[in-house]
Amino acid sequence: MTMILSGAIAFLIMFIAYRLFAGGTGMAFDKDDPRLVEAKQQARATLPQFWAALEARDPATRDFMLKFNLNHGTGHRDNESIWACDIRRDVGRIFGSLANHPRNPAYREGQEVEIAPEAIDDWGYFRGSVAQGHHVSRLMIETAPAGTARMQRQAMGW
């Protein structure tokens, strides 16, 4: 389990450090940015690859995560794109545990939540030491300073 979370934790730490030094919080681009819209579309279009890998239970795969809008369908005006781990499907419903500290005070890190399929923005997992998916993550890495991007790519096995 330690290795399962190590890659995800390393990425989250690097991303948080980047956001702290880059100024501001949240996403590094507008939610309507065409690059972001395209990355989310790619993630949604390839989501069957994620489900197939998760269901295959291949021991070479680990750290299955979904990124989704935590505030989807709650009436909350702000989007909060957040990662969930420990993903499972049960009778057509999707569940996961919040992988980082949410801004929305109604939730806490580690809390199990139901994830609406239409709220999913990205997905990822590791096959060996190489991250799969991470369409929005790749965009974030592209916009990071060169040194930070290099470290993030290395952590993702790219």
Over 80: is that where the pLDDT of 114 sits?
yes
Domain ranges of the chain: 2-156
Phi-psi region of 81 (alpha: psi -120 to 50; beta: other; left: phi over 0): beta
Task: Answer with the residue of higher pLDDT: 1 or 54.
Answer: 54
Phi-psi region of 91 (alpha: psi -120 to 50; beta: other; left: phi over 0): left
Residues 28-83 have pLDDT tens digits of 578 789 999 999 999 999 999 999 999 999 999 999 999 999 999 887 778 899 99
Residue 29 has a pLDDT of 75
25 pLDDT band, cuts 50/70/90, is very low
Residues 140-158 have pLDDT tens digits of 999 999 999 999 999 999 9
Over 80: is that where the pLDDT of 89 sits?
yes
In terms of Cα–Cα distance, which of 65, 37, 144 is closest to 154? 144
Residue 126 has a pLDDT of 98
In terms of Cα–Cα distance, which of 34, 27, 39, 116 is closest to 70? 116
In terms of Cα–Cα distance, which of 115, 114, 152, 116 is closest to 136? 152
Distance, CA of 59 to CA of 2 (rounded, Å): 14
pTM (two decimals): 0.81
Over 70: is that where the pLDDT of 11 sits?
no
